[in-house]
Amino acid sequence: MAPARAGPHHRLKVPSAPSDIVASVISHDEATIEELKLRQARQERAERRELAEAETEAEAETHQRRADKASYLRQKLEEQQRAGRESE
């Protein structure tokens, strides 16, 4: 059986200097945090729209809880991002 080959998402770029390694990791982390923040912001907006259209109190509570959770997660990601910048 032949060994599995890594797909395009598994290719590694060899950095030319140690500082490139750090910059690569930091920029990747920043991009990931930004993506997650955007995802949570979209989720919060979607849940608030659903909340406005809820037909029952239980449905409204569910959408409110989900919107609050998305907001909380986005805020925590922002805190993590700030902490990462301060530690640089």
| 64-76: pLDDT as tens digits | 999 999 999 999 9
Q: What are the residue boundaries of the structural domains of the chain, listed by start?
A: 44-88
Higher pLDDT, 18 or 39: 39
With cut-offs at 50, 70 and 90, classify the pLDDT of residue 84.
Answer: confident
Q: In terms of DSSP H, where are the helices of the chain? A: 18-53, 57-86
Across 15-29, 44-58, 63-77, least confident range: 15-29
Is the separation of the CB atoms in 12 and 24 below 8 Å? no
Distance CA 5, CA 24 (A): 24
pTM beyond 0.85: no
Higher pLDDT, 34 or 31: 34
How does 29-65 read in b/e, with b if 16+ C-beta sit within 10 Å?
eeeeeeebbeebeebbeebbebbeeeeeeeeeeebee
